Amino acid sequence: MRRIACLFWIVALLITVVACERQQEKRALDEVTVQLKWVHQAQFAGMYVAQEKGYYNQEGIQVNFLEGGQGIDNAQAVISGRAQFAVTTPEDVLISRSRGAPLQAIAAIYRRSAVVFQAMADSHITRPQDFPGKTVAPGGEGGAVRDFEFQFYALVRKLGLDLSKIKVVPYDSKYTAFIKGDVDVTAAFSTGGLIFLRQEGLKLNLIWPSDYGIHFYSDTLVTTDETIKEKSGLVTRFLRATLKGWQDAIQNYEEAVAITLKYARVKDPQFQTAMMESLLPLVHTGEDHIGWMKPEVWQGMYDILLEEKILNTPFEVNQAYTMRFLEDVYGGVTK
* DSSP calls for 285-305: -SSS-TB---HHHHHHHHHHH
Q: Is residue 1 part of a domain?
A: no
Q: Which of 43, 24, 85, 58 is nearest to 282 (CA)?
A: 43
Strands, sheet with 135-139, edge to edge from the N-terminal-most edge strand: 167-170, 135-139, 185-189, 115-120, 204-207
What domain range includes position 193? 115-212
- pLDDT number for residue 19: 52
How many Å apart are CA 2 and CA 96, to the nearest integer?
Answer: 71
Write the pLDDT tens digit of every residue in 161-180.
999 999 999 999 899 999 99
Q: What is the pTM of this model?
A: 0.86
Query: How many Å separate Cα 9 from the centre of its chain?
Result: 54
Same domain, 97 and 156: no
- Mean pLDDT score of the chain, rounded to an integer? 91
| DSSP state letter for 28 | T
291 has pLDDT over 50: yes
Q: Is residue 34 part of a domain?
A: yes
Q: Is residue 16 part of a domain?
A: no
Same domain, 204 and 157: yes
Same domain, 238 and 295: yes
211 has pLDDT over 60: yes
- pLDDT number for residue 140: 67
Q: Going by C-beta distance under 8 Å and a sequence separation of 6 or more, which residues neighbour residue 17?
A: none
- H-type alpha helices, 160-231: 176-180, 193-199, 225-230
Write the pLDDT tens digit of every residue in 128-159.
999 999 999 997 654 456 789 999 999 999 99
Ranked by mean pLDDT, the top range of 4-8, 15-19, 231-235 is 231-235
Where is the domain boundary, 212, 236, 260? 212
95 has pLDDT over 80: yes
How many Å apart are CA 80 and CA 4, to the nearest integer?
Answer: 60
Residue ranges of E strands in 114-251: 115-120, 135-139, 167-170, 185-189, 204-207, 220-224
- pLDDT number for residue 270: 95
Write the pLDDT tens digit of every residue in 69-81.
878 899 999 999 9
How many Å apart are CA 238 and CA 65, to the nearest integer?
Answer: 13
- pLDDT number for residue 70: 76
Q: Are 185 and 152 in contact (CB under 8 A)?
A: no
Q: Is residue 12 part of a domain?
A: no
- CB neighbours (10 Å) of residue 64? 11
Same domain, 105 and 240: yes
How many Å apart are CA 247 and CA 130, to the nearest integer?
Answer: 40
Question: Where is 8: in which H helix or E strand?
Answer: helix 2-27
242 has pLDDT over 50: yes
Q: Is residue 10 part of a domain?
A: no
- pLDDT number for residue 139: 78
Q: Give me the number of domains the chain comprises.
A: 2
